[in-house]
Amino acid sequence: MSTLALAFDLGGTELRGALIGRGGEVVARVSEPTMTEAGSEVVIGRIIALADKLLDDHPQAKVIGIGACAPGPLDPKAGIVIGPPTLSGWHNVPMIDILSRQFGLPVRLENDANAAALGEWRFGAGRGAGSLVFVTVSTGIGGGVIADGHIYHGRRGLAAEIGHMTITGEGDRCFCGNVGCFEAVASGTALGRRATRLTSPGDGSVLRRLSNDGDVSARHVIEAARTGDAAARDLVEAEAKWLGIGFTNLLHLYSPEVIVMGGGLANGFDLLAPGIRATIEERAMQAYRDVPIVPAELGDRAGLVGAASLILWEGEPGTALSMVQDQETGDGAGGAAGARAG
């Protein structure tokens, strides 16, 4: 059997594990609820149990390492999950230390959005591009940047917090505390909230019928727009405009060869794309207007595949060479100390 990596995608609601091959193929896959409220030690115990199960079920697998991704903020170099809002009780958990000690294998850790960007770039919608911006639009907005063949990390691996760039001075408050974040106006949550405010229970609208007179979600809006409902079409148009404004900023900042849009709202990509394009035509400077905006291809396995590639493609273009663990001297230790102090 060819060489494989164990991959883990630690989400706020679901914990996924897989055995992944060098071509991005998923050889085996397992998942279970994360149950974050049980605390980090219990969750890590479950990761270890899932890894044992995958290894037991595939005794002939030649596993050369573990690639893991988790929500940010995390420090990929120090291997520390710093304290994501979606993982309650996680504070400066040294994931790489724990897993490498347990399995005696090299372990790499990456922010989940960066891992998904890497997955789409190596094996999905961004194959062959030198630079790429991946944007995931669902409950929130996240993203990752591949710049000249490498994940762009910035200080402490915190770069490309796309959802929290300010794109307007007003509107609903973001969970981060600011007003006007990209996420606060353009996420699936924001779209659902606009649809809910526009309608009311029992008004007989298509949106409220789809939601059974409960709160309207982004999924309902897309569904209603597909039936030609005028209110839903207007909501989609407004949503596409916000996305187009955000994407225009990303074009100007990173000059990618392609923008890949993933997340739940990518299910409505065909409906959103004309409005996104029109906004980019209107707002981007001439030289940036011809960049393709495409839907993601890997769905919910993008993070797993990207995390595995940190192991399987180590040292080849696309892996962040500066992140190699055996270089964990002054810089890495400083990052860890900084994380603890923070």
For Zn ion, the binding residues (CB under 5 A) are 164, 174, 176, 178, 181
Q: Using CA atoms, how far apart are residues 62 and 43, in angstroms rounded to an integer?
A: 25
Beta strand pairing status for 74-75 and 132-137? unpaired
Nearer to Zn ion, 82 or 109 (CB): 82
Closest by CA to 176, choosing from 201, 145, 151, 141, is 141
Quote the least distance from Cβ 166 to Zn ion, whole Å.
8
Nearer to Zn ion, 139 or 199 (CB): 139
Nearer to Zn ion, 121 or 242 (CB): 242
Quote the least distance from Cβ 91 to Zn ion, whole Å.
21
Closest by CA to 147, choosing from 187, 185, 118, is 118
Using a 10 angstrom Cβ sphere, with 0-12 exposed, 13-18 middle and 19 or more buried, the burial of residue 95 is buried
Nearer to Zn ion, 181 or 280 (CB): 181
- Within a 10 A sphere around the Cβ of 142, how many other Cβ atoms? 27
First to last CA, the chain: 44
- Residue 71 DSSP symbol: P
Quote the least distance from Cβ 164 to Zn ion, whole Å.
4
Contact by Cβ (8 Å): 70, 111: yes
Nearer to Zn ion, 36 or 187 (CB): 187
Q: Using CA atoms, how far apart are residues 5 and 2, in angstroms rounded to an integer?
A: 10
Quote the least distance from Cβ 231 to Zn ion, whole Å.
27
Quote the least distance from Cβ 247 to Zn ion, whole Å.
17
- Within a 10 A sphere around the Cβ of 120, how many other Cβ atoms? 30
Nearer to Zn ion, 162 or 206 (CB): 162
- Residue 174 DSSP symbol: P
Quote the least distance from Cβ 175 to Zn ion, whole Å.
7
Closest by CA to 254, choosing from 151, 132, 149, 91, is 132
